[in-house]
C-alpha cells in the first residue's frame, strides 16, 4: 500500500511540473537543489570522510547561477583520536553553465567558504592516560567545483559533482592542520520553477 501512495505522489508531482516551463528550456529563474550522503578524501591525513551535504543553484541568467552548499561531517573517530576530528563546511559563490539549453548541464564554479573544525594535538607518550584537549574554531576555505546535471522533466535532475577544497586551521594547536580535500557527491536532485 505504501508503494502505491509513493507512486501516486510521484505522478501528481510530475503532472504539476508539466504546467511550468522546463529548466532544460529556460534556466533563468529556476532553482536546482539536492541533499544526500557524500564522501571526501583528506589528502594530508590520508583519511576518507563521510558527509551529509546539501546545495542549491539559483539561475540568475541562462548560464550563471548563485550557489550555496553545506557539508556536515559525521563523527568517525574514537575518544582517543588525534588530528582533525570534525570538518563541517559551508560554501557560497557562482557556477558557470556553458550549455544554456538542453537536458545536459555541465558547469564549473568557484566558491569561497568557511570550515567549522574540531581538532586535537597529536599526543606524546601514552595517549589514553593524557588526552590533549579538543580545539574548535573556524578556518577560511577556497574551493572550486566541476559537475554535471541531467534534467529529467521539470522536477528532477541527476547530478554528479567533484569539489576541491584548500585551507588550513591553526586555533591553539602548535602546528597547522591541513584542510585540503576532494569531496564527491552524486544522486537525485529537485528543480523548482519561479
Predicted confidence (pLDDT) per residue in 144-181, tens digit: 999 999 998 778 899 999 999 999 887 767 677 889 99
50-54, 82-86, 96-100, 148-152: segment of lowest average pLDDT: 82-86
| pLDDT, mean over the chain | 84
Instruction: Give helix then strand counts, H and E, for the chain.
Output: 1, 10
Helices (H), the chain: 2-17
Residue 47 confidence class, pLDDT cut points 50, 70, 90: confident
What pLDDT does residue 84 have? Answer: 79
Segment 3-43, tens digit of pLDDT: 666 666 655 555 444 444 588 788 888 999 999 999 999 98
Strand, helix or coil at 123?
coil
- Run of H or E including 86: strand 83-96
| Nearest 10 degrees: Cα torsion 67, 95, 92, 112 | 170
Q: Any bridge partners for residue 65, and if so which?
A: 59, 95
Residues 6+ apart with CB under 8 A from 68: 55, 56, 90, 91, 92
**CA 24 to each of CA 14, 154, 157: distance values in angstroms, whole numbers, following the listed order:** 15, 7, 10
| Residue 18: predicted pLDDT | 46
Any idea what DSSP says for residue 12? H
In the chain, the domains with their CATH numbers are 2-192 (2.40.160.20)
**Rounded to an integer, what distance in angstroms lies between the CA atom of residue 115 and that of residue 136?**
10
The Cα–Cα gap between 158 and 161 comes to 10
Find where cell 542549491 sits: 56
pLDDT for res 1? 57
pLDDT at residue 80, as a whole number: 55
Amino acid at each position: 500500500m505504501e508503494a502505491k501512495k509513493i507512486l501516486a505522489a510521484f505522478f501528481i508531482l510530475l503532472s504539476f511540473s508539466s504546467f511550468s516551463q522546463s529548466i532544460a528550456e529556460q534556466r533563468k529563474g529556476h532553482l536546482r537543489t539536492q541533499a544526500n550522503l557524500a564522501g571526501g578524501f583528506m589528502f594530508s591525513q590520508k583519511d576518507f570522510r563521510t558527509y551529509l551535504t546539501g546545495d542549491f543553484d539559483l539561475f540568475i541568467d541562462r548560464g550563471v547561477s548563485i550557489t550555496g552548499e553545506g557539508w556536515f561531517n559525521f563523527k568517525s573517530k574514537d575518544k582517543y583520536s588525534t588530528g582533525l576530528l570534525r570538518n563541517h563546511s559551508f560554501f557560497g559563490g557562482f557556477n558557470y553553465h556553458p550549455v544554456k539549453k538542453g537536458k545536459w548541464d555541465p558547469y564549473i564554479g568557484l566558491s569561497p567558504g568557511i570550515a567549522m573544525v574540531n581538532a586535537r594535538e597529536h599526543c606524546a607518550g601514552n595517549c589514553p592516560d593524557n588526552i590533549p584537549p579538543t580545539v574548535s574554531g573556524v578556518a577560511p576555505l577556497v574551493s572550486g567545483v566541476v559537475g554535471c546535471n541531467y534534467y529529467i522533466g521539470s522536477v528532477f535532475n541527476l547530478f554528479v559533482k567533484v569539489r576541491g577544497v584548500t585551507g588550513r586551521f591553526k586555533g591553539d594547536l602548535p602546528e597547522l592542520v591541513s584542510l585540503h580535500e576532494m569531496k564527491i557527491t552524486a544522486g537525485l536532485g529537485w528543480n523548482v520553477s519561479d
